[in-house]
Structure formats: C-alpha cells, structure tokens
Structure 1
C-alpha cells in the first residue's frame, strides 16, 4: 500500500489518495477541494479510482467529490448517519463555506465494522461520532495506520459545537474506542500533521481531558 497527502482549500484540509501499488486500485479520502491537483497525481501514476470515502460531510472535506465522481464514475461512501448532511447543502455549508454548496448523494452507506476494499487494501470503518453524528475513522487492515478525519488531531479534538456535533458523543468515542488504540498507531487527521498515539497521549490536552 502507498498513499499521498494533499493539503487543499482555504481551510487546508487533508485529502488522501491511497492505493494498492500492484493493482493500482485506489481510494480517495476526503477530497476537499482542488480537484485538478488530485487528477494530476492520479493520472501521473495511472491509478484506478475505485471509491471516494468521506469521514464526514462538512464542506471542507467534500469540495472535489462531484468532479472526481464524474470523471472516474466511482461510488461515494459515507457513514449512514451523515448521509442527510451530505445531500443537504444548507447543512454541509452552514459552517461558512467558501464555494457554492452542492448536494451530493452517497452511493454506499456504511456502519461501524464495515470493510471497504480496493485491490489488497482494506479499510475498516470505526464509527466515532462527536464532530458529526456519522463521523468515522478508517483503519488500514494489517497496518498501524488510521485516518481520523476531524475526530482527533495530533494536539486537539474536532469541534463539537457545529451542526450535528455532540460533546457527549465525542467523549464516548474517545473513551470507548480511541483511548484503546496502541501507542504505535499513527493517526492521519483531516487537518494538520500525523502523529503517533504515544504523542497524542503526551501532548493532546483535549484528549487527556476527555479521559478524566
């Protein structure tokens, strides 16, 4: 497996292109903007886009979805509890969008524990509500890598004061799931840099506060 991070849009969201280096079957996670940048990498490496996967529905993570879906005719995956927000522009644009909102209908709705496969790369869905009701993380099977969207970052947590946010849900996600991840797990969030869970346990004050 190989993957590349792209920092896109005014809010500098992380978009990830993940692929099986043998079959070139590819996932695009959270294509937030700048579709031409993503197209350039995909075409340069002759990748075959099999799916777009969204960790949640907020506008800064979905801006290039429509372009990619049209170009590669690939399905869009999202957690079932975020499906409504994805196809309701006034909701997914409510946190201050910088481009015209577009209604997007997901093709595949997933739940906790589901697996999504492209080539030999398998992503396991971990439902982590809090930032939105349907926020999810994606663990690479047989790897110590988890893509966390806006649930948890290297030094803080995702906001819970936006549409569909819940501090109570975030606390349950942290205590019941994320706190159980091993120190050598590396998180790749929706903004900012990656970090090990060992680093998170030392530096992430919001994470530590939730545990108390």
Structure 2
C-alpha cells in the first residue's frame, strides 16, 4: 500500500490492479474514493481494515463507470456508510448502467466500436445503488474539512469530479492516466471539456495528481503533457 501525507490528511492507495482507490483519513473521518471492480473487493477491504481500523464513513465516486463503482453498494452495506456521486451520475448509479466512453486513439476507438457488438462483455453493467446521494461542496467539507474541495472536471465523462486536498494533491479519477509514459486518457466523451478540466486543475496549483490508472503525476509532467496535447496540437491545426 502506498501512502501520501500532507497536513491534516493521510492518503492510502489500494494495491488494486484494475482501478486504484484512495482512502483519505483525517483526525475525524475516513473516506473511500472509488471502489474498483468486484473481483478486487477483498483487496480494497484489506486496505480499509489495515492497522486495526474498523471501517469508513463515506464513499465518494469520481464518476459512474463500472470499474469505479462496482463495489459501491457492497461497501455501503458492509460499513453502513453513505455513497456520493455528482448529480449527473445519480441516474446511472440508480439504474446500474453507464455508457461506454468514446476512444481517443485507434485502439480505444476500436474497443468503443466493438463493445456494443460483444454480448458477453458487460463493462457498462453493475449492481444498482439506489441509496446514492449527491456529492457537493457541503458534503466534502463535512467529511474532509474546509481544506478539501470538490472540482467538477468533465471530459472523460460528463459526471467526472476531482477531490482537492489543501490545493496540493488532487484525486482525479480517469481524467488523466499515467501508463506507458502517456497522461492523455485513452477514453473521453468530450475532449474539448477534457482540455478545460486539465487547465482548471493546473490553475489550482496542485503539485501531485492521483489518477485511477498508473502512478502519481507531478505538476511538471502534467504541464508538459498539456502543452503537447492541447496547446501544440491547436497551433498545428491553426
């Protein structure tokens, strides 16, 4: 388990393979960010219970894709805690269904095309979570204190959000990745919104960005990737 610490917060990163989940601990509360896939349920549970701790106080979901929400109902029941997602993700959570995101490269575009044609592939299905609540500024402050913030960061999906801790660390879900040296996500429903969200995160002055896929991303690397994917590309097509 990887941990990061800043004043007032301890952040634990689960050793899950499909989707990294983050456990944020303050002196009063513990919040789980995302829940990964069903087959990684035991790994997430071990992280929550490590060092003799007994549970979590809430679950925050960065967006309503299956690999982030598949265990939301389970952990909510086991730990008797609330589940929160942005208002735009409520319907998906209650229906137990999300949309396959669009691809941003040739491989992911092929996967997007094939998903609806593979009846045995059920990425878009998960257990409904009827008790889900809306994640807003007041909820974030209640569980994590005044130095934590909610930032709407659409692009990967329209319901994507990020959680900021003291404007030093940002937990960003799938807004960016850190795999094979490339930070640009392989899937995004709205690449124009992705541009705006990356810029908004850079404007927060956070130093570290924690994605759901790959290692932590440092500010300098994100700036370089932003220039390559957005500024340079826009000049090249002008």
Classify 1:114/1:48 alpha carbon distance in 2 versus 1 (closer, same or farther; 3 Å).
closer
1:158: how far off? Answer: 3.0
Greater radius of gyration (CA): 2
Q: Quick one: distance in 2 between partners of 1:57 and 1:7?
A: 21
Structure 1 equivalent of residue 172 of structure 2 = 148
> TM-score scaled to structure 1, two decimals?
0.80
Q: Please report the RMSD computed on the Cα atoms of aligned residues, expressed in angstroms.
A: 2.9
1:99: how far off? Answer: 9.5
Structure 2 equivalent of residue 38 of structure 1 = 44
Q: CA offsets per residue over residues 155-178 of structure 1, 9 Å max, x none?
A: 3233455xxx22232222234x12
Structure 2 equivalent of residue 28 of structure 1 = 32
1:185: how far off? Answer: 1.5
Aligned to 2:42, what secondary structure does the other structure show?
Answer: helix
- What is the aligned counterpart of 2:162 among 123, 126, 137? 137
Residue correspondences, number: 202
1:79: how far off? Answer: 0.7
CA contact (8 A) 1:82 1:132 kept: no
CA contact (8 A) 2:90 2:133 kept: no
Of Structure 1 and Structure 2, the greater helix share is in 2
Classify 1:8/1:207 alpha carbon distance in 2 versus 1 (closer, same or farther; 3 Å).
farther
Q: Quick one: distance in 1 between partners of 2:162 and 2:127?
A: 24
Structure 2 equivalent of residue 78 of structure 1 = 85
CA contact (8 A) 1:156 1:206 kept: no
1:29: how far off? Answer: 0.5
Gaps of 5+ in 1: none
CA contact (8 A) 2:90 2:132 kept: no
Classify 1:125/1:69 alpha carbon distance in 2 versus 1 (closer, same or farther; 3 Å).
same
Aligned to 1:117, what secondary structure does the other structure show?
Answer: helix
Q: Quick one: distance in 1 between partners of 2:175 and 2:233?
A: 13
Aligned to 2:70, what secondary structure does the other structure show?
Answer: coil
Q: CA offsets per residue over residues 15-44 of structure 1, 9 Å max, x none?
A: 111112x44x21000111322222223223
- What is the aligned counterpart of 1:103 among 112, 128, 143? 128
1:47: how far off? Answer: 4.2
Aligned to 1:8, what secondary structure does the other structure show?
Answer: coil
CA contact (8 A) 2:32 2:56 kept: yes
Of Structure 1 and Structure 2, the greater strand share is in 1
